[in-house]
RNA sequence: GUGGGCGUCGCCUAGCGGUUAAGGCGCCAGGUUGUGGCCCUGGAGACCGAGGGUUCAAAUCCCUCCGCCCACCCCA
């Protein structure tokens, strides 16, 4: 075992992973483009208060999962644990409030959370996310949900369930939590040990308990939907109506509560059918108060983030690995003049847009051929002293029996190798 | 933070008190002084996660630590 390893919960992406990752990333960006969303890249590091003020200092993310540090100038910085806060900071900083509204943005990049790693959970994770800022209408919620749904569809992710809920405003949640606590209090002694703990730390989680799913006190618990004010209820009804007319399947799940404090009104999760512990593949919600928390004017917003590692995990389960990329031409340098001539030939062929792999000088021709085969090259070009002097190469197709070998002037090699 | 499982060449695995620590894949070379895929031969590559102990003898037994994985919590 090497004594130096990647930090816990952070992983190398190897060449063999490239094809799948590229596919996922391209699909995300392509679909975002179809919805006329534009890319934004914000720093991986922000002033810590960007998150302290928005995500909620009571939340697990801030209270125990954030990488915070002081730089040499004594600035208190944080590795971003999520993407929305940074995007909103940029929205304010660049005066996007004076752009045509809403501003439609997407991002793709690493996030950091000091969690204990496990399957589908990492300390460095990659998220693709979308933000629609400046539109308070239910149509914006549905546009974002539809975008996310399309991404999964285009990725070929099967059997994904959309669960939505409305959590109203912070005031709604406060009233609801009080009512829930009051409702459960008399039943606490009859709840499972686990639920009793949850009752103390996070009452909402009691409703999630598998053990107590059939418990009368849990089944009869009040629903947050009954605590929504009129505006919230109307908004939620509109969202559902639009989803219905779009033909998007969903289920209303009053137990969904996003982990971040800034959410308001609509919240949702996408979950694959074979759900395990870490199964949520992407989630989103409306965050109408967020920009104000960052010192900007009151501005509505809605967005989602999806975990690329979790998508990849699901994709790997349901499909065969994609083929690795291979060069069009392998050039085998021989003799004294071979290496230099091979490089000249490589430049020539590459300028024609073809991928070229150079063989190691000093190796026998036999070894060169073997390398060319393992590399999966379609053609091999041999350049030794004779060829170098004549400005040619011996070109031969690989992969088939009895392929003919021909001497070709260097300028024409690209033409011979070019796929037709 | 709390439980559980596991650490033997780059990868997968055998060995479970006494072996020069074995095999497969991969890598390198040779089988034609400039011709491949298959095959054959050879080679390089492991202080058996680290440290301590028990024993005449430890990869094998015991302890501690570290790391990885899985689960809880929470979340993407």
Mapped to the 3 state alphabet, what secondary structure does A108-125 carry?
EEEEECCCCCECCECCEE
User: Which residues are within 8 A (CB) of A197 and not within 5 positions of it... i.e. 6 or more apart?
Assistant: none
Query: What is the C-alpha to C-alpha distance for residues A106 and A303, in angstroms, rounded to an integer?
Result: 9
Helices marked H in A351-384 = 365-375
Q: Is the pLDDT of residue A287 over 70?
A: yes
A58: confidence class by pLDDT, cuts 50, 70, 90: low
Strand B closer than 7 A to residue A363 Cβ: yes
Whether A212 sits with its Cβ under 7 A from any strand B atom: the answer reads no
- Whether the CA torsion A315, A320, A324, A325 is positive or negative: it is negative
Instruction: Flag the least confident range among A31-45, A124-138, A170-184.
Output: A170-184
Choose the weakest-confidence range: A45-59, A284-298, A305-319, A342-356.
A45-59
**pLDDT for A324:** 75
A370 touches strand B (CB under 7 A): yes
Q: Which nucleotides of B are covered by protein (CB under 7 A)?
A: 1-2, 7-9, 26-31, 34-37, 49, 67-76
What is the rounded distance in angstroms from the CA atom of residue A70 to the CA atom of residue A73? Answer: 8
Angle at A11 between CA A9 and CA A12, to 5 degrees: 165
Residues A129, A29: contact at Cβ < 8 Å? no
pLDDT band at A261 (very low <50, low <70, confident <90, very high): confident
pLDDT digit string (tens) for A301-357?
Answer: 999 999 999 999 888 877 766 677 899 999 999 999 999 999 999 999 999 999 999
Q: Which two tokens stand for residue A194?
A: 């686990």
Confidence class for position A364, pLDDT limits 50, 70, 90: very high
Which stretch of A130-134, A195-199, A329-333, A345-349 has the lowest confidence by average pLDDT?
Answer: A195-199
Residue A8 has pLDDT above 80, yes or no: yes
Average pLDDT over residues A263-277: 82
Predicted ipTM > 0.90: no
Average the pLDDT over A284-306 and give the result.
Answer: 95
Q: Strand pairing of A356-358 and A405-409?
A: unpaired
Residue A126, beta-bridge partner list: A110
CA of A1 to C1' of B20 (A): 24
As to burial, measured by CB atoms within 10 angstroms (0-12 exposed, 13-18 middle, 19+ buried), residue A188 is: middle
Cis-peptide, bond into residue A17, ω within 30° of zero: no
Assess whether A102 (CB) lies less than 7 A from strand B.
no
Q: Is the pLDDT of residue A277 over 80?
A: no
What's residue A153's pLDDT? Answer: 95
**With a 7 Å cutoff on the CB, does A200 touch strand B?**
no
| Strand B and A385 CB separated by under 7 Å | yes
In this prediction, residue A47 has a pLDDT band, given cuts at 50, 70 and 90, of very high
CA A185 to C1' B27, in angstroms, rounded, equals 66
Judge if the beta carbon of A278 is closer than 7 A to nucleic acid strand B: yes
Instruction: Report the distance from CA of residue A161 to the C1' of nucleotide B56 in Å, as an integer.
Output: 67
Q: How confident is the model at residue A393 (pLDDT cuts 50, 70, 90)?
A: very high
Residue A194 binned pLDDT confidence (cut-offs 50, 70, 90): confident
Nucleotide nearest to A367 (CA to C1'): B36
Which stretches does DSSP call E strand in A28-67? 38-39, 45-47
Which residue ranges form the domains of chain A, and what is each CATH number? 15-168+228-318 (3.30.930.10), 329-417 (3.40.50.800)
pLDDT score for A90: 97
Instruction: Give the CA A367 to C1' B28 distance in Å.
Output: 10
Distance A112 CA to B44 C1' (A): 41
What was the pLDDT predicted at A64? 78
Question: What are A69's strand-pairing partners?
Answer: A77
Residue of A188, A187, A196, A195 whose CA lies nearest to A211: A195
Tokens read off for A339:
């290496």
What is the pLDDT averaged over residues A248-265? 84
Q: In the structure, what pLDDT confidence band is assigned to residue A189 with cuts at 50, 70 and 90?
A: confident
Q: Where are the beta strands (DSSP E) in A236-275?
A: 251-252, 264-272
pLDDT > 70: what percent of chain A? Answer: 95
């Amino acid at each position: 075992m090497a004594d130096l390893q990647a930090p816990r919960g952070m992983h190398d992406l190897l060449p063999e992973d490239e094809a799948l990752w590229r596919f996922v990333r391209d699909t995300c960006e392509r679909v975002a483009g179809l919805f006329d969303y534009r890319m934004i890249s914000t720093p991986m590091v922000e002033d810590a208060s960007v998150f302290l003020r928005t995500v909620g200092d009571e939340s697990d993310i801030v209270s125990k999962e954030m990488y915070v540090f002081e730089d040499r100038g004594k600035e208190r910085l944080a590795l971003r644990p999520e993407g929305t806060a940074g995007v909103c900071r940029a929205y304010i900083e660049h005066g996007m409030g004076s752009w045509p509204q809403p501003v439609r943005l997407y991002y793709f990049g690493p996030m950091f959370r000091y969690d204990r790693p496990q399957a589908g959970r990492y300390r460095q994770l990659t998220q693709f996310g979308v933000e629609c800022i400046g539109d308070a209408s239910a149509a914006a919620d549905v546009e974002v949900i539809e975008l996310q749904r399309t991404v999964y569809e285009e990725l070929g992710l099967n059997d994904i369930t959309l669960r939505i809920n409305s959590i109203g405003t912070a005031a709604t949640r406060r009233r609801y939590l009080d009512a829930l606590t009051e409702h459960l209090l008399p039943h606490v002694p009859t709840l499972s040990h686990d639920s009793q703990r949850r009752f103390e730390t996070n009452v909402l989680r009691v409703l999630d308990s598998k053990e107590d799913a059939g418990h009368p006190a849990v089944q009869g618990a009040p629903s947050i939907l009954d605590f929504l004010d009129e505006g919230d209820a109307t908004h939620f009804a509109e969202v559902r109506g639009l989803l219905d007319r779009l033909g998007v399947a969903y289920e209303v799940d009053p137990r969904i509560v996003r982990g971040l404090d800034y959410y308001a009104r609509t919240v949702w999760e996408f979950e694959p059918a074979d759900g395990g512990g870490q199964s949520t593949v992407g989630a989103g919600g409306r965050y109408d108060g967020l920009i104000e928390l960052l010192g900007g004017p009151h501005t509505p917003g809605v967005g989602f983030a999806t975990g690329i590692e979790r998508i990849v995990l699901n994709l790997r389960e349901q499909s065969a690995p994609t083929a690795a990329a291979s060069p069009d031409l392998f050039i085998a340098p021989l003799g004294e003049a071979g290496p230099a001539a091979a490089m000249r030939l490589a430049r020539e062929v590459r300028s024609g847009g073809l991928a070229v792999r150079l063989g190691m000088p000093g190796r026998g021709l036999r070894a060169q051929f073997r390398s060319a085969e393992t590399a999966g090259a379609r053609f091999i070009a041999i350049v030794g002293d004779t060829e170098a002097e004549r400005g040619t190469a011996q070109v031969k197709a690989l992969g088939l029996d009895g392929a003919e070998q021909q001497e070709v002037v260097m300028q024409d090699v690209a033409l011979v190798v070019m796929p037709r």
